[in-house]
Amino acid sequence: MATASCPSLDALPTPPQTLVPPPPSILSQDELKKIAAFRAVDFVESGMVVGLGTGSTARHAVDRIGHLLRQGKLRDVVGIPTSRVTHDQALSLGIPLSDLDSHPVVDLAIDGADEVDPSLNLVKGRGGSLLREKMVEGACKKFVVIVDESKLVDYIGGSGLAMPVEVIKFCWKYTAEQLRSLFDYAGCRAKLRMSVGKEEEEEPFVTDNGNYVVDLYFERDIGDSWAASDAILRLAGVVEHGMFLGMASTVIVAGELGVRMINRKPGQC
């Protein structure tokens, strides 16, 4: 009886290879900010007066505007900077600049935000430019906010990070305690913002307007943001706070799945 021979390994069929797709590239937070900033600049048209925001996200938008002006794709754009840092950046890019005294109505403002709640209310000013930002962005016809999705919160202060308040230097400790006591029910802590000075030692951070910043940290929801705003502004030592309520026209959010645009609904506050 013939004995069946085992087939050689070479004769065995080769199993089909399973192709494993490469893992999707994960965009950094800065790359997400850049995507949102470029989308926001699509709103800019030749001949516009544009409020130029301050911070890591707004910096990308200012760069983009300068690039489009150099290419000739935008013409006769005038920028209104919201800080000395943005002023210097825009000048280096050749963006013509002016101010609210000369242009009291701004066509469009583009800026980042530290928090965005479901009603498109914002926390801004962790970079220390909240007063000038609020002045310029309060004078604009359309305010476009650019963020990555990490900035979306359920309520103002929901990130647990700072809600800044610009205060005068005179008796700042008294003002800080007044602010803390306003929000004692929300577990508020008030802390003077510090920065590293020329001698490599910590010293109080000073705004472009020569004031201090007291950062408020909340453990719980502060409730009605509009009532909180009014209460803060009634304190004599307060210059301005970092809640930008009812100001954003459009929020552009960049995330892992792309960019989405959220527009303020009529009457939304």
Residues labelled catalytic: 133
> How far apart (Å, rounded) are the C-alpha atoms in residues 34 and 110?
13
Residue at token pair 């303020």: 264
